[in-house]
Structure 1
């Protein structure tokens, strides 16, 4: 298995740094290949700009169209192209980050913004000319898993916790980004109270991560409803007979 590990934490001596090191070591020890995109170490540019897509400044910068054109012409910047090549090679993707203000760090959001652009990650059509997404896309056949540290204790991220259910906080990443692109999304590895873990608790977290990583090929993915599986109508709205009377993000789970 070829694994792309995307890490977004500025301190290699942090818990995140330790977990990334231990997780990658466990994968390699079992014969898997690991490529890493350590975004802070790479000094990754998170800002969408004209230089990334070889856009002519005299013209209005329409981001999606410029990115699509650059991808088709092979003129996107070298850093974007390199990340796309890593994604293409990968059989599985690990996205690791600390949850800051209920989401991912800006540098990671900027990685998605710049790399997962139109023509490469979305705006794609299937063999019959239909638009594809949510269960089909450029990551079809690949697996993806988030590894997330959180500052608060676990109960704050429960169904009734004041922070909100963690599955809903991660819905934009897991459903709207990874599943939209066609990946089989595995349940996340969550490490709550990360700022207060003892060394022993940190090793327990690393042990869980190692086990989850080595089980990636056989782990059951999150059962999201596919776009073209019959649950949605032509407007991509759930049919009235599917989860009748229910609303909210949970209705998109089969």
Structure 2
């Protein structure tokens, strides 16, 4: 499977000194990343009266809720990696293979209107969950990012916290670190890392079953005590074998300190 390099280095990555997680694995011109595009339309204006007394209509969808948008981003990132086109001989195989062999960087950007429609023409997968949409694109060198992507803003938008309720039964859960604030873009990248690492450690049967469900997952913010109880600590193998939990440890290039565990993903 194309994600095998992630499984092979998972435990060693968790054991690195924090400062070593931020060491570059490639020269600036060879840094690779997966663009993750989040659809974030402007709120529709208040209805205005027409001359005939009817309210003007606005066809734009409302802004998405934070949790469904993160869940869509998490599923989309994994869907690209396990698409049929990433298999040996497929058109996506080499770019995805080259990317997962190093840091699995993702850059989340926001798009709306015609800019959102433009990125649909680029190689990738769009996932829609409860009205929220995210498109993960085939990774490549950052210096080669298409103009349809480079013109999109990385920061500047946020979504308010929501209350999604308990995670559905038998659904993988991605838990955001309750003590580390992250923008919606940063969180989208981190939960995408979480689904990839989780898939890399699953057996073929469970992975196939997850694929049939469209890689649906639940994103939640646990209480600090639950986070502490699930955290793999110094024994990631035991955490996986006993609790089916993996940890996402960030290199700290943006927003968080190097070595920060941003997400715990649990297979249920």
Q: RCO greater where, 1 or 2, for CA within 8 Å and sep 6 or more?
A: 2
Q: What TM-score, normalized to structure 1?
A: 0.28
Q: What TM-score, normalized to structure 2?
A: 0.27
Return the structure number with greater strand share.
Answer: 2
